[in-house]
Amino acid sequence: MKKIGLLGGTFDPPHLGHLLVAEEVYHALDLDEVWFIPSNDPPHKDSTDTNTEDRLEMTRMAVQTNHHFDVNTIEIERSGTSFTFDTVSSLVNTYQDTEFYFIMGGDMVEYLPKWHRIEELLELVSFVGVQRKGFELECEYPIIKVEIPMFEVSSTLIRNRVQGGGSTRYLLPERVETYIKERGLYGKR
């Protein structure tokens, strides 16, 4: 049986917090790989700042130097609203000798009871929660809790920094930082 971690996200942009979470859970649960899954249309956000191609390209750049990380484009290819139930159902059908672990930060754990077809989703995947400042890892559903060194960077912080001309050094993979500058994403710098 292979053990694959899934880190779904908007990745607008992907930052070092995402990479840290994936790496920590990879080691803690002895996973074979972690797949980053950029959402097409995130279920609980109004819209994304950046077009899908840029988010995908930045996510590819972010994971490039880690051989046990990969990007999976299933949600972008499916188009429409990116419900995790649809994604996991499809992956479970395609990869039959694999156990999937869906990784998420504390902000997502709180919201889990409201997820689309959550009861059925729980039958297909194990949920893994990591701490995030300001959020409890308490949930009515079984969650595997993994302790990680907390690093409270968010895509929102990055977007605000870029917009305001602040530093994003040591918050982003360097290639992603350069890409944002070159493409003029998230406002002026």
Ligand X SMILES: Nc1ncnc2c1ncn2[C@@H]1O[C@H](COP(=O)(O)OP(=O)(O)OP(=O)(O)O)[C@@H](O)[C@H]1O
- Name the site residues for ligand X (rule: CB under 6 A): 9-12, 17-18, 21, 104-105, 107-108, 130, 132, 151-156
Q: Closest Cα partner for 162 from 139, 183, 143, 144? A: 183
How are beta strands 98-105 and 143-146 bridged, if at all? unpaired
Residue 173 structure tokens: 């993979």
Residue where the block lists tokens 């079984």: 142
Residue 45 touching ligand NCN (CB under 6 A) = yes
Least distance CB 97 / ligand X (angstroms) = 26
141 binds, among ligand NCN, ligand X, none (CB under 5 to 8 A by kind): none
Among positions 14, 42, 106, 129, the unique one binding ligand NCN when judged by CB under 6 A:
42
Site string for ligand NCN, 83-122 (x = CB under 6 A): xxx------------------x---x--x---xx------
CB of 185 to ligand NCN, least distance (A): 17
Chain centroid to CA 52: 14
Which one of the spans 35-43, 53-61, 137-145, 170-178 is the region binding ligand NCN (CB under 6 A)?
35-43
- Cα-based torsion angle of the residue sequence 87, 90, 92, 95 in order, rounded to the nearest 10 degrees: -120
Q: Minimal CA–CA distance to 19: which of 46, 137, 27, 144?
A: 27
Taking the C-alpha atoms of residue 18 and residue 128, their distance in angstroms, rounded to an integer, is 14
> Which residue lies nearest ligand NCN, judged by its C-beta?
8
Closest C-alpha to 179, from 13, 51, 16, 36: 13
* Contact residues for ligand NCN, defined by CB under 6 A: 8-10, 37, 39, 42-45, 82-85, 104, 108, 111, 115-116
